[in-house]
Amino acid sequence: MSVLSCDRRGCPHVMCERLIQTSDGDQYICDGCFVELQKLAAKWPSPMLRKDVVEAVTEFMDSAQVEYGDDEVDPLEAIGALTRTGEDDG
């Protein structure tokens, strides 16, 4: 199995399985960047032409990744796929 790194500028994550269409062709995007993109896309005007969506996604992939601290949210939790039990790791 090969390791596929996130194609977003500056993102260090690997093992990405999701492809996203940009004006530069299909690119891999990690779960964390995808959640960030979803949050941003919620603010985009609706409806949008396909070319405008591709342009906006391309601009996102060319942007720097937000740096997360210790309070980073699990990307799966952020999209509702995982529920924490409230237990603390520390």
Q: In 3D, which of 26, 24, 3, 25 has the Cα closest to residue 16?
A: 3
Domain count, the chain: 1
Task: Kindly tell me if the per-residue pLDDT of 28 is higher than 50.
Answer: yes
Range of the domain at 36: 18-78
In a domain, 89, yes or no: no
On whether residue 87 sits in a domain, the answer given is no
Quick check: is 33 in a domain?
yes
Q: What is the pLDDT of residues 51-67, one digit of tens each?
A: 999 999 999 999 987 66
Does 90 map to a domain? no
Name the least confident of 6-20, 51-65, 74-88: 74-88
**40 falls within a domain:** yes
- Is residue 69 pLDDT above 70, yes or no? no
Q: Examine residue 38 and state whether it is found in any structural domain, yes or no.
A: yes
Mean pLDDT of the chain: 77
**Per-residue model confidence (pLDDT) at position 72:** 52
The Cα-based distances of 11 to 1, 3, 63, 90 in angstroms read 21, 14, 10, 27
Is residue 37 one of the residues assigned to a domain? Answer: yes
User: What's the pLDDT at 57?
Assistant: 93
